[in-house]
Amino acid sequence: MTNSKLYRWLAALLALALLAAACGSDDDDGDAAEETSTETEAEGDGDDGESTVAAGEEAEGDVDTEVEATDVERVVGGEIAIGMEAEIVGMRPWEDTCGSNCYNIFVTIYDKLMESAEDGSYQGWLLDDITPNEDFTAWVGNLKQGIMFHNGVELTAQTIADMFPIQQEGSQSAGQITASGLADVQATGDYEVTWTLSRPNSAFPAYLARAQLGFVFEPGAAADADAFNENPIGTGPYLFEARDLDNETSVVRNPDYWMSDQNGTQLPYLDRIAFRPIPDEGTRLDATLSGTTNVAHTLRQGTIRDARAARDSGDPIILYEFQGNNVGGGMFNVLVPPFDDVRVRRGLTHMNSQENVIEALGGTGISLPGTQWFSPDSPWYSETVAAEWLQFDFDTGVELLTEYVNDPERSDGKAVGDPIDAELSCPPDPTLIAAMQVIEQVWTQSGLVNVELTNYDQQTHIDYALGSDNGFIGNHTTHCWRVATDEDPSTFLNAALGPPTADVAEANGLDPALVSPLNWSNYFDAEVFGSLVAATQTSDFDERYALYESVMLKLAEDVPIWFSGHTATALITDANIMGLNSWELPDGTLGTGHPNAEGRWGQVWIDPAAG
């Protein structure tokens, strides 16, 4: 009888476990599906004065967490663990690929020469000031004095000059040196640095705020690149502690950090930060909800949606959301028929239902539909361009495609009346596949397009569009893609719209050195490129704005790129993590917040009252 009872208990336990499993998944799905809030609320205990943000005032779907100064008392001490999307490649700014994950770590160890302020301008961080000559071919900057590297070496102008040869050889920084036109760096005083350019560049300070050229490392230690990778040396608020690849990278408080906050408290506030790569989006969020980590980093709308659902159901978390210029969608390879014909590009773009694509991406109420390479929050955003951007209009799309298909001179050489062929390619992410299926459905429904959906991993996807085996024309036709950053427009537009091949450069009388394999769509227009170059020869904002607006208007006409929604990113934190949207530059100017889920961890603190 005892055995029999035991068996019955065992059976009951198994049944309970199965029941619990079934209930668990239902709850999760239900919460996520019902969540359509367009507000981002920073939740604390209500006593700390932290902001509640309703950014929908700016535009429907715009959900940025506001950047704003706060007078909440800072607390020194404590440690946090941050769940990152992926492991980083290495610790060397000049050599190792650096995306959002890497930036979060680098910014703890290294300081940058320049930094972005809330208004989008670039201001000094390690530099006190920087001034150009008349034609923007030389820039003179003065470094702050008395700043020491983690190994006790002082930062001087000669340090910056000594970094330059290393950067010239660096696989990451060499490209930025070319793109910026930087030709030489000289120490023209103890703390005065002169950057000489090969061509005018009014946006050069933007490059000194980028990871590749902006992060300052100790060149003496960098002489042994492998050893430096094991023990990186910067001037940043934290000292490198240890790196357990694929598990944890940790930094500890730099007791001699040079910067203090506006109350005179020495930075940084935290004692230690651990960065843990957690590639699974669900696990990363669960890790924060369960207290395994204190912060979850995400670049996915679906995770933001789930985090909002968790917050709204009572989990004590804050979502520091950001939606900047970066915008998803796709591109046409304009050198490959039939996408060399603007009727096809316009027709297919008219048949891109942005609303449905954003919904398939899980971004309804999160992502703002894109109309240009700038988001409505950007100083470069143009209402005129937004009005000109092609809206979803199936009939007009069909009309344009029909005109092409029935054209005896159609560029793809197919018989009159035959549908065009389009390979619609995207990495095999479930939400991206769903989004591409929405587009496929609409395009196919026209009866004028044979769509073949293909999925390649990220690296193959990039290589496919690069096409180094065919003169960088690429083997793609219609390719899902993201464009734009929140940096100065010249840092991404000049390469993305430069002459794609030597032939194109030659035909337009341009220097072959300007050929840009980063022009993925291969779209080139001499007037557009002229405007982009002109925008680097003036620092007058209105003049530059007009030039970029003219470029965007031309893109709205020729549509080498189509858009879905702007990329939403977030840092999802415990309710007591403060400072991500209120950090300041050394002169007290409010910083840019947390673009692309990149925090400035030197000014983050734990508020015990908000826990």
Q: Map 378-424 to HEC letters.
A: CCCCCHHHHHHCCCCCHHHHHHHHHHHHCCCCCCCCCCCCCCEEEEE
- Measured from the CB atom, is 12 or 387 closer to another protein? 12
CB of 79 to another protein, least distance (A): 15
Q: Does 212 bind another protein (CB under 8 A)?
A: yes
CB of 173 to another protein, least distance (A): 8
Show the binding pattern over residues 414-453: x = contacts another protein (CB under 8 A), - = does not: ----------------------------------------
Contact 608, 576 (CB under 8 A): yes
Q: Does 343 bind another protein (CB under 8 A)?
A: no
For residues 12 and 608, give the distance between their C-alpha atoms in angstroms, rounded to a whole number: 44
**Binding range to another protein, per CB under 8 A, among 156-164, 193-201, 260-268, 281-289:** 281-289
Q: Does 460 bind another protein (CB under 8 A)?
A: yes
CB of 24 to another protein, least distance (A): 5
The SS3 call for residue 266 is strand
State which of positions 151-180 bind another protein (CB under 8 A).
171-172, 174-176, 178-179
Contact 532, 550 (CB under 8 A): no
- Measured from the CB atom, is 438 or 480 closer to another protein? 480
- Measured from the CB atom, is 395 or 511 closer to another protein? 511
For residues 69 and 585, give the distance between their C-alpha atoms in angstroms, rounded to a whole number: 12
Q: Does 495 bind another protein (CB under 8 A)?
A: yes
| Size, binding site for another protein by CB under 8 A | 66
Q: How far is CA 500 from the centre of its chain?
A: 23
> Which of 247, 313, 384, 441 lies at the binding interface for another protein (CB under 8 A)?
247
CB of 324 to another protein, least distance (A): 19
Which burial class, exposed, middle or buried, applies to 537 when counting CB atoms under 10 A from its CB (0-12, 13-18, 19+)?
A: middle
For residues 599 and 611, give the distance between their C-alpha atoms in angstroms, rounded to a whole number: 20
> Which of 133, 458, 470, 539 lies at the binding interface for another protein (CB under 8 A)?
458
CB of 462 to another protein, least distance (A): 7
Q: Does 512 bind another protein (CB under 8 A)?
A: no
The token pair that represents 416 in the structure block: 């009159």
Q: Does 140 bind another protein (CB under 8 A)?
A: no
CB of 518 to another protein, least distance (A): 6
Contact 424, 451 (CB under 8 A): yes
Which burial class, exposed, middle or buried, applies to 165 when counting CB atoms under 10 A from its CB (0-12, 13-18, 19+)?
A: exposed
Q: Does 573 bind another protein (CB under 8 A)?
A: no
Show the binding pattern over residues 18-57: x = contacts another protein (CB under 8 A), - = does not: x-xx--xx--x-----------------------------
For residues 355 and 575, give the distance between their C-alpha atoms in angstroms, rounded to a whole number: 32
Q: Does 1 bind another protein (CB under 8 A)?
A: no
Show the binding pattern over residues 78-97: x = contacts another protein (CB under 8 A), - = does not: -----x--xx-xx-x--xxx
Q: In terms of Cα–Cα distance, which of 320, 321, 210, 309 is closest to 567?
A: 321
> Which of 38, 158, 229, 437 lies at the binding interface for another protein (CB under 8 A)?
229
> Which of 160, 182, 222, 287 lies at the binding interface for another protein (CB under 8 A)?
287
Q: Does 225 bind another protein (CB under 8 A)?
A: yes
Describe the strand order of the beta sheet including 138-143 as a list of residue ranges: 127-132, 138-143, 192-197, 182-187
Q: In terms of Cα–Cα distance, which of 338, 473, 451 is closest to 405?
A: 338
User: How many residues are there in the chain?
Assistant: 611
The token pair that represents 102 in the structure block: 């890497």
For residues 596 and 587, give the distance between their C-alpha atoms in angstroms, rounded to a whole number: 24
- Measured from the CB atom, is 289 or 559 closer to another protein? 289
CB of 96 to another protein, least distance (A): 8
- Measured from the CB atom, is 180 or 382 closer to another protein? 180
Beta strands in 52-137 (DSSP E): 52-53, 79-84, 114-116, 122-124, 127-132
Distances (CA, A) of 197 to 140, 179, 200, 262, 563: 11, 11, 7, 36, 35
> Which of 433, 466, 546, 590 lies at the binding interface for another protein (CB under 8 A)?
466
Q: Does 283 bind another protein (CB under 8 A)?
A: yes
Contact 366, 322 (CB under 8 A): no
Q: Does 278 bind another protein (CB under 8 A)?
A: yes
Q: Does 289 bind another protein (CB under 8 A)?
A: yes
The token pair that represents 130 in the structure block: 């920087």
CB of 476 to another protein, least distance (A): 12
Contact 422, 450 (CB under 8 A): yes
Where along the sequence are the contacts to another protein (CB under 8 A)? 7, 10-11, 14, 18, 20-21, 24-25, 28, 83, 86-87, 89-90, 92, 95-97, 171-172, 174-176, 178-179, 212, 225-226, 229-230, 244-248, 276-280, 282-284, 286-287, 289-293, 456-460, 462-464, 466, 468, 472, 495, 516-518
